[in-house]
Structure 1
Amino acid sequence: SFPTGGVEISKLVLAIDAGRLSLDGRAGETLDLRVNAKDIPLSAVKLVAPKLDLSGTLNAEAQMSGKPDDLAGPWQIRIARLVTPETRSAGLPPVEISGNGQFSGRQTSVEATLTAGRGANLAVRGTAPLSASGALALTIQGKLDAALANALLAAQGQRLTGTVTLDLRAGGT
């Protein structure tokens, strides 16, 4: 339905291959919206961005309330077996990403992990803006197996061993 200042969505469900995307609530001048993505194949992204060739699955949930520039609510995401043409050609293992956070005004908190087999294990924590003009405050820590680069270096007869330890901080607008 279309009440003044928005749209009311009641249990809208889209089947996307073997996955389901559901929306329920109100969107417009203020939000009271629940979004749930279950087993969405990332290959479906090609429908809106034909140049992206992704594989894997997406599971996510979010509850958003408040004005669009003053959001509140929790979110969580899990991307399983993510593969891109670049990771495939580099011989990298599929990537697993999981994270959660809380919308708060014009930013969100972030607690996330990224793993790629036994070769990469990263943790991301902090806050990120919900617009291009907001402030970023993230910490990324973890370890990478230097051998991940060997598929790219093999053509030159080179090889790496060892571990790369990361401790990065990104901040600012």
Structure 2
Amino acid sequence: MLGNIASPNAASGTPTVKGNFTLYTLVGYDNYDPTALFAESIGKWNGGQYGSNGPANDNDDFMTITWPNGYVLTSSTVFGDCSGPYKKDEAYSSVVWGFGEESGEVILASNGRNDNSSGTRKWVSKYVHTWAETVPSFNISLTDVGITLTNSSASWQIASSLIY
């Protein structure tokens, strides 16, 4: 099961806002198996102009989620107001999805399990918006997805997190 926003066992992080775009992270666990968790990166365009402050849909945008150390990412998908979603990269605890963005809400839903976690449990979501031809590069490590924007005048990035 990918994500369940209505779950009473879920928490949402503080939203991050850039222009007309809001990004937040939601995490929860399964009532029947507390070692099985879900996490969602949720982005929403709140109207606005096209280009740097609104959806362009001519170039792909990207969304990531990274799970804490000691968790394994078992599945993921992107749905909502987007077109042509595809998995760009994946590692043990992180995933990167690309898609054509549209006005409205897009969700990167993921499932995972606690393999051997200890210490702080922090999930991190990132979103890269592009409005001209540019392809960011992604560097996935055990605890993070590093993003390099090669044409920073045609893209921006924001991040959101949740300690759960």
What is the TM-score of this pair, normalised by structure 1?
0.29
When you count helix as a share of all residues, which structure comes out higher? Answer: 1
What is the TM-score of this pair, normalised by structure 2?
0.30
